[in-house]
Amino acid sequence: MMRISRTKSLLLLLAVTVLAIGAYFFKRQFLTAKPAEYITATVERMDLEERILASGTLNAHKTVEVGAQVSGQLKKLHVALGNQVKKGQLLAEIDPVLQQNSLLDAEASLENMKAQKRAKLALLHQYELAYKRTKQMTDKDAASQADLESALAQLESTQADMVSLDAQINRARVSVDTATANLQYTRIVAPIDGVVIAIVTEEGQTVVSSQAAPTILKLADLETMTVKTQISEADVIRARPGQTAYFTVLGDTVTRYYGKLRAIEPGPVSSSSSSGTANSAVYYNGLFDVPNTDSRLRVAMTAQVSIVLNSVKQALCIPGSALREKGKNGLYTVKVLVNNIPETRSVGIGMSNNINTQVLEGLKEGEKVIIGDSYSLPPSEKTPSMPPPPRKN
């Protein structure tokens, strides 16, 4: 009996000891407060820009649709897609037979008018002499007044015919000039230096220019590209011609192409709405030019555009998330970690790009500002709590 009681005592003592040790470690692990862990950022110098972000499209600085001013079959095309051409270079030829015949007809009409004028000049000279003789005879009473009036009428009528012939000759000359120009238009030449970016009409096709000049091909000056960027109505009031603008393209997000904002179109260019006019997004086109001497940029490329509103070189900066309350004096408070102890400072700030903020006073380069700590972590990111002990039956 004594032996059983002693065994129970030992078991009881062992259970108490285990519970005491467990309670000690539970308190140490879960109930003892841990020191806060701080997330910091270094105060450092960097180039800072305040800018408008937008997307745009690349366009040729100058595009010309080269058309035909006369009708006929496209006999020969002298260029291919992508060819570089110079101003005045022959691009295409239209069958000139119809225009050559028109020119010959106009020249024949002109010669006919000139021949009629020569004949009328001879008749006019005859009527002038007849009038002079009749006048002399009338003065001597050798001819009647009626004969004199008839001679005068013939003379004046012939003089009027001469005026009419001169007008017809001028009209015939215009017809010849028009026919000559139409014949020249069968040879289509480049109006500008550029690159052939599209061929609309192929050899053998017939073009008809009775209503509008049909397009043969398109030329573009690609040595300079114009960026047409859509600026939202929220940002357009801050954009001004003359501001620096640059962009990157999707195929090369590192290289920047710089230019100066040339103009902002006064009217909106597009609006999109998902639920009525009240929620429409309105954009305005901003235009700027960039050189393209190496021909890397192409028409219709998408550009990620930045319009620089303000910039500072090597500004002392901190993340904007480090700023806390703003005081009545215009200064912001920040937490600075000094020897692992948070210290409150008041700082004056300057320009901000919504990520980093320029510090004008209150901090030194290399100091650590607090942007977060373990107390601010959401419950899901903290150490999980000890599960509850099992229920006793």
Kindly report the CATH number assigned to the domain that includes residue 367.
2.40.420.20
Structural domain contains residue 243: yes
* Number of folded domains that form the chain: 3
Domain of residue 265: give its range.
52-60+222-310
Residue among 286, 66, 305, 318 at smallest CA distance from 194: 66
- Write down the pLDDT at residue 271: 58
- Write down the pLDDT at residue 383: 44
Structural domain contains residue 354: yes
- Write down the pLDDT at residue 37: 79
Q: Which residues of the chain have pLDDT under 50?
A: 1-2, 273-276, 377, 379-393
22 in helix, strand or coil?
helix
| The domain boundary residue, chosen from 161, 185, 209 | 185
Structure token digits, residue 50: 């305040």
| The domain boundary residue, chosen from 287, 310, 333 | 310
In this structure, which amino acid lies at residue 252? D
- Write down the pLDDT at residue 389: 45
Structure token digits, residue 237: 């009031």
- Write down the pLDDT at residue 340: 85
- Write down the pLDDT at residue 19: 75
Do 304 and 227 fall within a single domain?
yes
Report the alpha-carbon distance of residue 251 to residue 52 in Å, rounded.
22
Residue among 231, 218, 188, 200 at smallest CA distance from 59: 218
Report the alpha-carbon distance of residue 351 to residue 315 in Å, rounded.
9
Do 276 and 338 fall within a single domain?
no
Locus of tokens 């107390």:
375
Residue among 276, 88, 319, 107 at smallest CA distance from 189: 88
275 burial type by CB count under 10 A (0-12 exposed, 13-18 middle, 19+ buried):
exposed
